[in-house]
Amino acid sequence: MADDAGGPVTPHPAAVPHAAATARLRPTRFGVGFLILVVLTLVGCINYGLSLGYGLTFLLGGVWVVASAGASRPARGLRVTLTPPVPVRAGEDAVFALGVTGAAGALTLTLHSSAGDTRRVTLRVREGELRTLAVPFPARVRGPLTVTARAAAALDFLGLWATGLPAPAPVTVQVVPAPEDGAPPTPPRTVSGPGDGGARTRGDEDFSGLRPYAPGDPPRRVSWRHVARTGQLLTRETDAPRGRTWQLDWADTAGETETRLSRLAAWVTRLERAGQPFALRLPGQSLPVGGGEAHARAALDLLARHLPLPPVPVLQRPKRRAEQEERPDEDALRTTLLALAFALAPTALRQPVWVTLLAAALLAYRAVRPRRGWPPLPTPLLGVLAGLAAVGLNVTYGTLLGRDAGTALLALLVALKAAEGRGPRDGKVLVVLGLFVTSTHFFHGQDPLTALHAVVSAALLLAAASRWTAPTRPGHGDPGADLPATLVRSGTLLALAVPLALALFVLFPRPESPLWRLPVSAGAVTGLSSVIRAGDYSDLAQSRAVAFRADFAGAVPAPAERYWRGPVYEAYAGEAWTQGFLGSAVPSVGVPSIEVQADGPNWSYTLTLEPSNMPWLLALDTPVSLPPDVLLTTAFQAVSSRPVTSRRRVALESRSAQLGVREDPRRLNFNLALPPGESPRAAALGQSWQTLPPQGRIDAALTLLGTGGFSYTLSPPLLPAHNRVDAFLFGTRQGFCEHYAQAFTFLMRAAGLPARIVGGYLGGEENPDGGYLIVRQQDAHAWAEVWLPGQGWVRVDPTAVVAPARVSAGLTTALSRPQAAAAPTPTPLNRWSLRLDALQNRWNAVVVGYDGAQQRALLGRVGLEGVGSPAFMGLLLALAAATALPAWLWLRRAARPRDPAARALDALTVRLRLPRAPGETPSAYARRAGERYPHLRGALDEVVRAYHAARYAPGDGRAALRELSAALRRVRR
């Protein structure tokens, strides 16, 4: 570097040139946080068996993998230069010019000054654009100020990966003393000047001779006569008499060193503005007489270098982050808040209204605050809001660990974080939290609409992450400034990650048991409960929500055979029936009453259960084949080892059978018990039948219900707390299935027959498009079981006597036409609804229900031993590589120049491992490359000639492009 006042200056001796960074690909801090999010959601999916959660997790993991190509390729094309400013005064800002050009991409760079200041720069550049950014550093004291570039890296679109770039060499600027305000007049010290002793000096008075023309000479001083005669450019020289001029001397100042230098700087500035020549003398240094701007800069530079240099003040760094609040990118902030609002929207459907309103108010305040100039919310206030919200949710749900309370609290905490966020780091944290909130929606549903919302939320949040990667420039053609274009790019990344996500979705091991057990929901979502009272089942009949779907391997059972067995109620206390003997939900290990004698047809089917937070499965008739984690209780009820907290598919096999032919006497006595004094009229009626044979007692009770003027309704009159059966049988005579089941069971016990109530579902709507049954909550039903000697537990449905249509035609028909024999023909609207449900059922079977059993079956069909075998691991790795490689190559190709000729020139720089400098022409690059590789000069000249022909020659350029490709192939380093 030159050392003159007008050119670049020499780096400070203490500054060590920064070595060029190697092209090493590494995840950024945000990339590490993103990967941690993927791991956490994967662990949650494993524990709770969220199939769609696996899909979103692997999709985000695929984005993390393929995004690496977005940083590796641009790193080869991005070039960075750092230019120092002209000398600046102490106390001002030294504005360094950072220039970036090359391939499209984002860049991050950290600049350190010798005064201890640090600037982190992030920016985007377009293809072929020369982007210049002004980076100010405070010049606190005079002397050399050196700026060193470190940690230069190219970033991918999302800022997940960084590839090292060669950092520009350190640059130094001289900080000159600040001129003294109100400096005294220049002292009258002079030296030899114009007119002194007849000596001559440079001037504009007399002609003194000719000299060769130099660039920058004014045209009026060119001797055009000699040009016309000789053809050579010559410039006329002139001079003037030397006289007396100003002498600035160190001896004319007083005080401390910096004070004296400041006064000299003021005199230099004053004489330079007046156009008067001067000389400068310092202890051990001097500057001869001269004038003009260059002479003044040389004088100020001499003052800046004067020894000893002043010490650099130590910076007082703030200890708390609140004292160094970062100024966020408002465009990135608005995009992030929009993405968060969309991601949090489904929570409004299931959480308390006050939580939704509070979260919306926090997001709105943060969005409006910069425009209105409102102050940020104090951190203590946000802490108080968080504490009060936690208390309110605990009161509402009774816990903070359940699914509903936990997701509501998480949504509110994200909104509080958005209100508190200060800068890019917080913005990226909000993106990660938004993706985590999106994954929690699968606790509440895994339907296609939820999956679509998750994908759109991920695209919006990734678009927001890209805007935090580097600042945008709306109105300047910046690729990050257009939100739709950003969404397209984030959607493209998601699309490229789909093949890898599918491979992992199919092959990633699916554990059968959870890693830990925590409550997902505080109570039952909907459906049957462990207690039955009059009115419970009629409430369920108001809901058309799907309870489960049943896919049969063969023919669908007839309507009269569609009794789906659920909880068994054996304990009666006068007002409610509960599950009683031996708990009824414990395994039947060693209990003789588990005896089952199959005597009917066999049905193989798969249940797709909707979340109920209850452990029981709704088996058809008597299950004879169960999954490994499902047990059969002493009451012949299928019970899972874990509650059904999310949509679940189980394969079952059932048969008609005789149950408990050799029943435990203790159970039979338990199912004869009646509370003393409860419903005496009904008890006396049942006792009057004890002389009849067992079947005669059953027929007597059914005859009473069928001929006694009873009606089937969803709105029966209220029954008293005591003597409820008497009030129903001899009073209201209106009821739903639970009224008839309770009254019949009471009469049977009074008649001396063991009896109990069985809850479950009856019927199901057959979908002709899918060949399966849809069982809804309105199909909830209660019936009775009576134990008969030699026959065991026999099902008796007293509701069928009052409303036969309930069995043959379904609930809706039974309410309007109780004696109907078949359901009416479905309407066109119902048929369209069934087609949509068929799609939902297919989705459940293929996507939601994909578990370890289906995975093992799939591996068996392709001839693999199973999960964890060497062949399986090899297939998993091969498929992961095969699905990720095309996306990675596509991104690398997309980062290259679009113009074929420019792409060929870019390939040349890669082949030679010699990048082009910013603004360097192909010819200049070829000369520089020829100096490094002399044996390639001829081949490089051919490449440049072909390049120019391909870019600028008229006509069809395909032949020129072929010639350029051929010339490029001849370059061998």
% of residues, the chain, pLDDT over 70: 84
Residue predicted with more confidence, 694 or 883: 694
The residue type at 944: V
Given a cut of 80, is residue 926 above it in pLDDT?
yes
CB neighbour list of residue 492: distance below 8 Å, 6 or more residues apart: none
Lowest mean pLDDT among 39-48, 189-198, 570-579, 914-923: 189-198
Residue 105 near residue 74 (C-beta atoms within 8 A): yes
Q: How far is residue 771's CA from residue 555's CA, in Å, rounded to a whole number?
A: 9
Q: What is the pLDDT of residues 162-177, one digit of tens each?
A: 888 888 889 999 999 9
Give the model's pLDDT for residue 9.
34
Residue 680 near residue 725 (C-beta atoms within 8 A): no
The residue type at 596: V
Residue 905 near residue 948 (C-beta atoms within 8 A): no
Q: How far is residue 749's CA from residue 768's CA, in Å, rounded to a whole number?
A: 43
Residue 328 — very low, low, confident or very high, per pLDDT cuts 50/70/90? low
Give the model's pLDDT for residue 891.
62
Q: How far is residue 412's CA from residue 416's CA, in Å, rounded to a whole number?
A: 6
Give the model's pLDDT for residue 108.
85
Residue 465 near residue 428 (C-beta atoms within 8 A): yes
Q: Which residue in 157, 141, 810, 53 sits closest to 436, CA to CA?
A: 53
% of residues, the chain, pLDDT over 90: 28
Q: How far is residue 881's CA from residue 208's CA, in Å, rounded to a whole number?
A: 80
Beta bridge partners of residue 260, listed in sequence order: none
Give the model's pLDDT for residue 481.
53
Residue 15 — very low, low, confident or very high, per pLDDT cuts 50/70/90? very low
Cα angle vertex 835, ends 830, 840, to 5°?
120
Residue 484 — very low, low, confident or very high, per pLDDT cuts 50/70/90? confident
Give the model's pLDDT for residue 239.
58
Q: How far is residue 331's CA from residue 467's CA, in Å, rounded to a whole number?
A: 8
- For residue 945, the number of C-alpha atoms closer than 13 Å in the C-beta half-sphere is 9
Residue 196 — very low, low, confident or very high, per pLDDT cuts 50/70/90? very low
Q: What is the pLDDT of residues 863-894, one digit of tens each?
A: 776 676 777 777 777 877 777 777 766 665 55
Give the model's pLDDT for residue 3.
34
Residue 6 — very low, low, confident or very high, per pLDDT cuts 50/70/90? very low
Given a cut of 60, is residue 743 above it in pLDDT?
yes
Helical residues (DSSP H) of 210-329, grouped into ranges: 224-230, 257-274, 293-305
Q: How far is residue 286's CA from residue 280's CA, in Å, rounded to a whole number?
A: 6
The residue type at 316: Q
Give the model's pLDDT for residue 530.
81
In the predicted model, what is the mean pLDDT of residues 952-968? 79
Give the model's pLDDT for residue 543.
81
Residue 209 — very low, low, confident or very high, per pLDDT cuts 50/70/90? confident
Q: What is the pLDDT of residues 594-647, one digit of tens each?
A: 566 666 678 899 998 888 888 888 898 788 888 888 888 888 888 888 788 777
For residue 384, how many other CB atoms are within 10 A of its CB? 11
The residue type at 582: L
Residue predicted with more confidence, 524 or 134: 134
- Which residues belong to the active site? 737, 781, 797
In the predicted model, what is the mean pLDDT of residues 812-834? 76
186-190, 459-463, 528-532, 802-806, range with greatest mean pLDDT: 459-463
The residue type at 36: I
Give the model's pLDDT for residue 972.
79
Lowest mean pLDDT among 40-54, 511-525, 822-836: 511-525
In the predicted model, what is the mean pLDDT of residues 935-962? 82
Residue 13 — very low, low, confident or very high, per pLDDT cuts 50/70/90? very low
Query: What DSSP state is assigned to residue 580?
Result: -
Give the model's pLDDT for residue 323.
35
Lowest mean pLDDT among 450-454, 689-693, 779-783, 811-815: 811-815
Residue 423 — very low, low, confident or very high, per pLDDT cuts 50/70/90? confident
Give the model's pLDDT for residue 911.
80
Lowest mean pLDDT among 208-222, 778-792, 850-864: 208-222
Q: How far is residue 841's CA from residue 550's CA, in Å, rounded to a whole number?
A: 9
Residue 276 near residue 291 (C-beta atoms within 8 A): yes
Given a cut of 90, is residue 371 above it in pLDDT?
no
Give the model's pLDDT for residue 332.
86
Residue 155 — very low, low, confident or very high, per pLDDT cuts 50/70/90? confident
Lowest mean pLDDT among 398-412, 688-702, 812-826: 812-826
Q: What is the pLDDT of residues 54-71, one digit of tens each?
A: 999 999 999 998 888 777
Given a cut of 90, is residue 542 above it in pLDDT?
no
Residue predicted with more confidence, 533 or 780: 780
DSSP 90-123: TTSEEEEEEEEESSSEEEEEEEEETTS-EEEEEE
Given a cut of 50, is residue 390 above it in pLDDT?
yes
In the predicted model, what is the mean pLDDT of residues 128-139? 83
Beta bridge partners of residue 569, listed in sequence order: 757
Lowest mean pLDDT among 471-475, 759-763, 850-854: 471-475
Give the model's pLDDT for residue 156.
85
Report the chain's terminal Cα–Cα distance, integer Å. Answer: 30
Does a cis peptide bond (omega within 30 degrees of 0) precede residue 308? yes
In the predicted model, what is the mean pLDDT of residues 770-796? 91
Q: What is the pLDDT of residues 548-586, one digit of tens each?
A: 999 998 888 888 889 999 999 999 988 889 987 654 433
- pLDDT, averaged across the chain: 81
Q: Which residue in 679, 680, 700 sits closest to 748, CA to CA?
A: 700
Residue predicted with more confidence, 890 or 680: 680
Give the model's pLDDT for residue 523.
45
